Amino acid sequence: MKAFVLDIDGVMTDGKMWYTTEGKMMKAFGPDDHEALRMIADKIEIAFVSGDHRGFAISKKRIDDIGFPIVWIEGVENRAKWIDENWGLKETIYMGDSIWDAPFFERVGYSICPADGFYTAREKADYVTQHNGGHRAVAEACMHIREKFL
């Protein structure tokens, strides 16, 4: 596998969107995930994607802070094209949690879903973590990737 691509919301975060009258203000990111990503970063390329236009600046700030690339890509087909152009779909491990990720899981080389992902995503994933998104699911996924692929 050449890359580990993560859909940020519901994977690195708990998936909740915190709104005030001014709009989307915060997202909750969990512990240990960034340390686990660094543990495998010298062996596999890591990148993040988001389709959350309004909350992208929040996600970008966190991912920039831990030193990985993040791109905003709207739509599954655009995401598939971007991954295919960069690493090849079948050479990519993809981690997602949503209703839109379930059919996408069948197109990538290996798929991972947090324990609290949408039920169709859990059913289609190659691996489902024991941890929820934003609660060490990414750390667990990194340990799994290290044992299985690296």
In this structure, whether the domain defined by 3-149 belongs to CATH 3.40.50.1000 is answered with yes
Q: Which residue is it, tokens 């990538």?
A: 108
pLDDT digits (tens, 9 = 90+) for 66-114: 999 999 998 888 999 999 999 999 999 999 999 999 999 999 999 999 9
pLDDT over 70, % of the chain: 100
Residues 27 and 8: their CA atoms lie apart, in Å, by 10
pLDDT digits (tens, 9 = 90+) for 15-30: 988 888 988 888 999 8
Q: Domain spans of the chain?
A: 3-149
Predicted confidence (pLDDT) at residue 143 exceeds the cutoff of 90: yes
Cα distances from 32 to residues 29, 44, 48, 134, 135, in angstroms, run 10, 18, 17, 10, 9
Residues 94 and 113: their CA atoms lie apart, in Å, by 9
- Nearest CA to 85 out of 111, 128, 47 is that of 47
Which pTM does this prediction carry?
0.96
Residues 87 and 64: their CA atoms lie apart, in Å, by 21
- Mean local confidence (pLDDT), 46-58: 93
